[in-house]
Structure 1
Amino acid sequence: MTTFARMTNFIPVFPLGIVVYPGEKVNLHIFEPRYKQLITECLAEAKPFGIPTVIDNRLNEMGTLVKITELVKVHDNGEMDIRTQGLRVFRMLELIKTVPDKLFSGAIVNYPDNIEGPGKRELMQKVVNAIRELHRLLDIEKDFQKPDEELASYDIAHHAGLSLEQEYELLGLLREEQRQEYIKRHLGKVLPIIAEMETLKERVKLNGHFKNLSSFKFED
């Protein structure tokens, strides 16, 4: 048995340019040999793996442990389609680039305390309402598939127009109230900009068209 195998906080890692949140469901297509090996092993041993976030070709320390919920298809060339679900946030303490007898890499990680809970329900409802306003302005339809009172920051984070860097910052916030405030501040900045863009778009549309305008009336 290798030293790594004895370490309870050793996990295989699959670095990707995405942020996965606890509870989130993510579909993945696996085609690289090292990750086909990783997924095959995780399926055989019913064990999870980690997805640390890559931004600008740089591996970051935070990520999410995920479990495989379904092997959807194995293609003729060995590539796989799988369904996964986020479990918990981890922080990488050490990247193990070369694991004996494995093509894939791993990491020694810890799991920081992460307070999920309901947070502030009134604040969360304001955030949800703001996201719906964002979607209305952008002419987007989204179904969160949960009643509003059950929604948490992880459920709506990917729908708030955050950049990858901002989604990663949110991953590092370990209290629900912090995450709610973060999304609220973001929406407070972008909604006025998008609303102004909508107004600008309407003005551009009107330019060149016949306008039915009331003339100015001079006082007698």
Structure 2
Amino acid sequence: MSRTLPLFPLNLVAFPFQNLNLHIFEPRYKELIADCIENNSTFAIPSYVKNKVEYGTEMEIREVSKKYDDGRFDIKTRGIRIIKVLKMDNPFKDKKYAVGSIEEISNKNNPDIIMKEEIFEAVQEMYDLVEVDERKLSMDFQIYDIAHQIGLSKDAEYELIQINEERQRQRFVLDHLKVLLPKLRDLQRSKELIKMNGHFRKYNPPQEF
């Protein structure tokens, strides 16, 4: 069953349960957010990654951090669920922004315990290799909780939000980590060698593979 939502396309992938801070400054989106606040309603962020608007995430506004005199907003939002845009009217009737007919994508939360442990250990090793001390992973994590932290490209993140079963998401992420970790280990060894030779100055870990 479809319903309609205001659409706020962005060149990023938002995941369910993700907290996302937004600065709203374009006139059409100032109107969109003002309407959502007034009606206590949600909106969708379709990911404009593949030069089209299709899959994205329904978002709720958790807090208006600041409203400016010119109508701009600083807001805190949180992802709710994955959606698929079936049809878009841009602009919608007398509004400046687009509204889409959307379908909610069902989510089967069926984690595999063995894969979950493998991913947990792999992510902990990744944190150690890139020397990220402040991030600690709890064993009750879901894939969406770590999706932005493991060096996925934007295209890979977009592929991930189209997977509606946790076990398949686990396999997707585990396959990625099995490629990523050997590269990080090699970089770590190179870093240690450079340190030993006295030429090490600054090290920035890779962001995407």
Q: TM-score, normalised by structure 1?
A: 0.84
Match of 1:21 among 15, 37, 56: 15
Shift of 1:125: 2.1
* Code of the aligned partner of 1:204: I
Shift of 1:76: 2.9
Uncovered stretches (5+) of structure 1, i.e. residues with no partner: 1-6, 210-220
Match of 1:147 among 115, 122, 138: 138
Q: Hey, what does 1:198 align to over in structure 2?
A: 188
Question: Following the alignment from structure 1 to structure 2, what is the Cα–Cα distance between the partners of residues 97 and 157?
Answer: 30
Match of 1:136 among 120, 128, 131: 128
Q: Hey, what does 1:166 align to over in structure 2?
A: 156
Preserved contact between residue 15 and residue 59 of structure 1 (Cα < 8 Å): no
Question: Following the alignment from structure 1 to structure 2, what is the Cα–Cα distance between the partners of residues 130 and 208?
Answer: 30
Match of 2:86 among 83, 86, 93: 93
Q: Hey, what does 1:213 align to over in structure 2?
A: none
Match of 2:70 among 77, 100, 111: 77
Question: Following the alignment from structure 1 to structure 2, what is the Cα–Cα distance between the partners of residues 106 and 19?
Answer: 19
Preserved contact between residue 7 and residue 45 of structure 2 (Cα < 8 Å): yes
- 2:122 is paired with a residue whose SS is helix
Shift of 1:8: 5.9
- For structure 1, which segment, 197-206 or 78-87, has the greater mean C-alpha deviation from structure 2 after superposition? 197-206
Uncovered stretches (5+) of structure 2, i.e. residues with no partner: 200-209
Question: Following the alignment from structure 1 to structure 2, what is the Cα–Cα distance between the partners of residues 14 and 142?
Answer: 32
Q: How does 1:107-126 map to 2 (within 5 A)?
A: 107-117=100-110, 119-126=111-118
CA-to-partner distance for each residue in 1:136-172, whole Å, 9 max, x for gaps? 111123435x731x21111111111111111111101
* Code of the aligned partner of 1:18: L
- 1:59 is paired with a residue whose SS is coil
Greater Rg by CA: 1
* Code of the aligned partner of 1:107: G
* Code of the aligned partner of 1:103: K
- For structure 1, which segment, 196-205 or 171-180, has the greater mean C-alpha deviation from structure 2 after superposition? 196-205
- The number of residue pairs the alignment matches comes to 199
Preserved contact between residue 15 and residue 54 of structure 1 (Cα < 8 Å): yes
Question: Following the alignment from structure 2 to structure 1, what is the Cα–Cα distance between the partners of residues 37 and 197?
Answer: 60
Question: Following the alignment from structure 1 to structure 2, what is the Cα–Cα distance between the partners of residues 23 and 205?
Answer: 40
Preserved contact between residue 17 and residue 78 of structure 2 (Cα < 8 Å): yes
- 1:85 is paired with a residue whose SS is strand
Preserved contact between residue 2 and residue 103 of structure 2 (Cα < 8 Å): no
Distance verdict in 2 for CA 1:160–1:42, change over 3 Å: same
* Aligned Cα root-mean-square deviation (Å): 1.9
